[in-house]
Structure 1
C-alpha cells in the first residue's frame, strides 16, 4: 500500500513510522519546509516534554480544553504509558519530574529527534523536504491524488499532520472536501501587562500562585507563575489561556486578572495570620521581615504598591494597611492588554471538527482513505506534555489503520 504523510512534525513522524512497520506499506513523508520536528526541538526549553505521568485515559483526557471526549476513547488504545514503553524499546529512557512532566533522561530534545529519525530510516520511510502539497483530490476508485508544484502523484491512503494552522483560510483545501472547520485561535499564550513596576521584576517566579480572570469564576488556575519583561507567564498563566482560549479571543485579549501571590491560606486564615504577625514582629521593620516566604524583590514591590513606608514597624501598621496587605496577597488586580506567544509551547485551538473523524482510525468520515493526526484536529491540551501525547496517540492510530 502506498501511503503519504503530509507534515514532518511529531504526529507526522509517529504516523509514518507506525504505518511503515507493516513491510507491505510504502510510506512517503512530505514536509513543505527544509526542516522537520521543529517543535520537538524547542519544547520544554530544549529538553522535549514527551508526555505526562497521568496515564489513566479518563484522567488524562481531562487535561484537554478541546477534545476530551474524543481523546478518552483514543487514550484507551495508546496513552502515556505506551509512549514511554515505545521509546524505551528503542533505547530512550523517559523520566518523570515532580510536577508530572516527563522528559528523556538525557534532558536533550535531540535524543527524541534522533530516535524518531532513526526509526523512520530503519522502516524505509521516504522523506521529502521542501515538498509542499498544493491540492488533495479524492479519486473514484478510493485513492487520493496529491498535487505538487511540478507533478501529481496518487496514493492509496493519505495522513494529514500539518499541525495547527493560524488562519481559517489555511484549511480551505480540507474544507472543500466537506470537512467542518472550527475557527483556529491561539492557545497557551502569555499575558501582556503594561505595568512597569511589575515588569521590572522580570525573571522572578512564584512557585504556587493562583490566577483568575475577572468575571469568569471557572477560569482559574494554580501553579508556578513567571514575571517577564512584557507581563506574566508560567504554567498558571498558560493553563488559564488554554481553558479560556476562545473566550479571551472574543474579548480581543482585553481583560482583568486577579493574582494570588500567596496561595496557601484562605481569606480568613490569612487575616488571622497577618494579625498574628503584627504581634510577633511588632518592633521589626516590615521591609526586612517578610513572613510570607515570597521572593524579597516581590515583597518590596508589594510594600511599594501599597504605599507603606519601608521603615514602618509591624506594630505600627493600621487595620486598613493590614487589610490591604491581605487583599494584594490574595487578589492583586491587573489589566491584560494583548498576548505574547510562548514559542516553546504555543499551540492552536481549532481545526478539523472531531465529529468528522473516526476516533478508532482517525479516518475522515467525509473522504475515504484520508486520515488526520496531531494539531490539525480540533484538539489542544494544557502545558505539561499533553499536546505531544495527543500527537503520539493520534499519529499511532492513524498509522496503524
Structure 2
C-alpha cells in the first residue's frame, strides 16, 4: 500500500494535518493510522464532552504565555496560524464556536461530537484513508520512502507525520530513529492535602495566590477545595509550570496560599485592625469580611486560635497576626497528586531543538514531521493544547502540500 503521506495517530493533530494537506493539494494520497478502534477519542472527552477547541486569545505573543514548555518555539507558528484562524477554519467547515466568560471556546452545540463529525466529514471529502486497529511496529527508510510495518501489514510513503500524543511506545520508536525524547512526567494535576482547615469543604472556591515553599513556583487563579485536597485553575497552572520540579520532589512539598490576592501579611494586619475598630461588638466568626465563603473564614478564625465566642474587640495583637498569616500565607502539606485520567497531559516528548518550527519537519530525519503533543509542548487548561495541535498540524500540512505542487 503506497501513499504520499502516512500520518501516525488518529487524534486532533493527525486529522487536522491530513485534511489540510489534501485541501491544499488535492493530488496527494493520505492515510491516517490509528492503533485503537476509534479515532478522535481524546476530542470526545475533552472539556467534559464539550470540546474546548481553542481560547479567545488572539495575540501570538500573549498566547505563548500559556505554554510552560514550547512558548518560545510557538511564537513563529502562532504568527502563521493562531486562534482566530482556528475559528475561521471551523466556521468554513460549518462549525460555529462561542466564547465563554473565561475565554475558553466551544462549539455552540456544546457537544464534542460536532467537532468529531466536522473532522470526519472533511476527511471523507478529502478521500483520506482512515485505518483503525493499525498499530505501528517498525519504521525504516528505504531509498526515498518510509516503510511502515503495522500489525496489519506494511505500507510506504514519501512523508511521515507523527501525531501520536503522549504514547510511550511511539516515543521509543522515535528515539530509536535517532531523536532525543525528553522524559515525560505528568502535568496538570491536583494536590492531595489532608488538613483540618479544608476538611469537608468540598466545592468551596476562592481566588488565591499559591506558591511552592523553597522554590520560584507561583501561580494565581480560582482555587477549588475538593474531597482529596485542592484543585481549580490556580492549582492546575502551578502543576503545569512545576511539572518537572514537583516530579523531582516526588509530589511531597509545602504550598503557601494567599487567600487575599494582592495583599501581604502586613497589609492584611492593617485591614484586620480596621475591622476590629469598625465591628468591635460583633462576633468575629459570624461573617466573612472578605470575598470568600463563611465556612472558610470560620476555619481560619479557629486555626488562628481565636475562640468561637470572641468579638472583634476581644482580639489581641498576637491573634490578629496569626489570622493575617492564615489569610495570606497559609501553609499546607501536599502529599501526592491526582490526575484526570481522561484529560491526561504530560510534559515531555520530542526535543524541540530537533524540529524546524517553520515547517514542523525533523532536523534529524528529513521528510518526517511532528504535530501536537508528541512534541515536548504542553499548556495549561483552556483550549491551548488543542491550539498547539491545530497550529503545528497546519504548518506541517502546508509544507508537505506546497513541496509537492
What TM-score range do you get, normalising by the shorter chain? over 0.9
Once the two structures are superposed, what CA deviation does each residue of 1:138-187 show, in whole Å capped at 9, x if it has no partner? 1122x10110124211112111111013x5x6522111111111111111
Q: Distance in 2 between matches of 1:44 and 1:196?
A: 32
Is it true that 1:374 corresponds to 2:376 in the alignment?
no
Normalising to structure 1: TM-score of the pair?
0.95
1:5-44 residue pairs with structure 2 within 5 A? 5-21=7-23, 22-44=25-47
Contact kept? 1:75, 1:393, Cα under 8 Å: yes
Q: 2:402: which partner in 1?
A: none
Q: 1:91: which partner in 2?
A: 94
Normalising to structure 2: TM-score of the pair?
0.94
1:125 to 124, 128, 136: 128
Contact kept? 1:219, 1:244, Cα under 8 Å: yes
Corresponding residue SS for 1:292: coil
Q: Distance in 2 between matches of 1:267 and 1:197?
A: 19
Corresponding residue SS for 2:287: coil
Q: 2:75: which partner in 1?
A: 72
Q: Distance in 2 between matches of 1:116 and 1:129?
A: 15
1:46 to 45, 49, 54: 49
Q: 1:3: which partner in 2?
A: 5
Q: 1:210: which partner in 2?
A: 209
Once the two structures are superposed, what CA deviation does each residue of 1:25-59 show, in whole Å capped at 9, x if it has no partner? 11111111112222222222222221112222222
Structure 2 unpaired stretches of 5+: 400-405
Q: Distance in 1 between matches of 2:290 and 2:120?
A: 49
Change over 3 Å in CA distance of 1:345–1:306 after alignment to 2: farther
Q: 2:186: which partner in 1?
A: 186
Displacement of 1:345 in angstroms is 4.2
1:104 to 93, 98, 107: 107
Displacement of 1:76 in angstroms is 1.2
- Of stretches 229-238 and 149-158 in structure 1, the one that deviates more from structure 2 is 149-158
1:1-400 residue pairs with structure 2 within 5 A? 2-21=4-23, 22-141=25-144, 143-165=145-167, 167=168, 171-195=171-195, 197-206=197-206, 208-216=207-215, 218-343=216-341, 345-400=343-398
Change over 3 Å in CA distance of 1:315–1:269 after alignment to 2: same
Q: Distance in 2 between matches of 1:18 and 1:237?
A: 36
Corresponding residue SS for 1:183: strand
Corresponding residue SS for 2:237: helix
Displacement of 1:264 in angstroms is 4.5
Once the two structures are superposed, what CA deviation does each residue of 1:322-372 show, in whole Å capped at 9, x if it has no partner? 111111111110111111113454311111111111112211112221111
**Considering only aligned residues, what root-mean-square deviation do their CA atoms show, in Å?**
1.6
Structure 1 unpaired stretches of 5+: none
Q: Distance in 1 between matches of 2:191 and 2:185?
A: 15
Corresponding residue SS for 1:156: strand
